[in-house]
Structure 1
Amino acid sequence: MNNEIHEGGCACGAFRFRASGKPRRVSLCHCMTCRRVHGSAFGAYAIFARDDVEMSGRLETWRSSEEGRRHFCPVCGSVAYMEYASHPEVDLPLGAFDQTGIFEPVYELWCTHREPWLPAGVRTEYPEDRPK
């Protein structure tokens, strides 16, 4: 049994989370939505089973695709997490964790939109979404 607890939250502290154990996977996403939502060249996420994450605080939700829901703090606007309707998972942004360096991405999605100045071939790459 893995009893690691990883905490984090939004920039202003109005939203908090506690993730138990290890993530199912850790990734970088270069899709245009992640780029725009994060205001960066990519989004970086630790994906946990939904039942392994406790959350507190008020959030707003934006339906970013047919399946995708992005949740954000209405006070500071920070990305809190994202989820897909058909998956019992929560994608927590790496930058929202209280500690740094605890998870390393093992694959990248939507590399067709990756900035050319970012290194290629560092981890498994998918041109678009990963196979299910």
Structure 2
Amino acid sequence: MERIYEGGCACGSVRYRVSGEPLAVGLCHCADCRKETGSAFLYYADWPRSAFSVEGDYATYDGRSFCPNCGTRLFHLGAEGAEIALGSLDAAPSRFVPEREGWIKRREPWLTTIPGAGQFHEDPF
């Protein structure tokens, strides 16, 4: 049986689902991800676009989608894939261990390397 993961924004206006296991899980330390999350990095996972569905109206800025009511950052949709901000899942995403870290040249010195994760000076793509 295929796993279903559900998530959404803080106010409940936008809800999404992804099915199956992610293609990749990672952390991004780039300046754009820092700004969009208000944190030191983005914790994300990628699914095929066909595994993603959404209900509710969301806004998009520079490819990144969020709830226009509460501002929760949710996902980045491309023609082939859906990158999910894992903090927006309903259940804690602790089973998704990052397998790669991008933009480590901007990683804060007080953050440690994720054991076993690929380390990429810039984008891992």
Deviation at residue 121 of structure 1 after TM alignment? 5.5
Q: 8 Å contact 2:98–2:114 — kept in the other structure?
A: no
1:66 maps to none
TM-score by length of 1: 0.88
1:112 partner letter: K
1:111 maps to 104
Deviation at residue 46 of structure 1 after TM alignment? 1.1
1:126 maps to 120
> For the residues of structure 1 that align with 2:114 and 2:7, how far apart are their CA atoms?
30
TM-score by length of 2: 0.93
Other structure's SS at 1:36 match = helix
Unaligned runs of 5+ in 1: 64-68
2:76 maps to 82
1:32 maps to 31
> For the residues of structure 1 that align with 2:114 and 2:53, how far apart are their CA atoms?
35
Other structure's SS at 1:80 match = strand
Equivalent pairs, count: 123
> For the residues of structure 2 that align with 1:38 and 1:113, how far apart are their CA atoms?
15
> For the residues of structure 2 that align with 1:34 and 1:78, how far apart are their CA atoms?
14
Deviation at residue 120 of structure 1 after TM alignment? 2.3
**CA deviation map 1:60-96 (0-9, x unaligned):** 1111xxxxx1011000001010134xx5101101101
Unaligned runs of 5+ in 2: none
Residues 10-25 of structure 1 aligned to structure 2 (within 5 Å): 10-25=9-24
> For the residues of structure 2 that align with 1:9 and 1:46, how far apart are their CA atoms?
15
Q: Quote the sequence identity (%).
A: 40
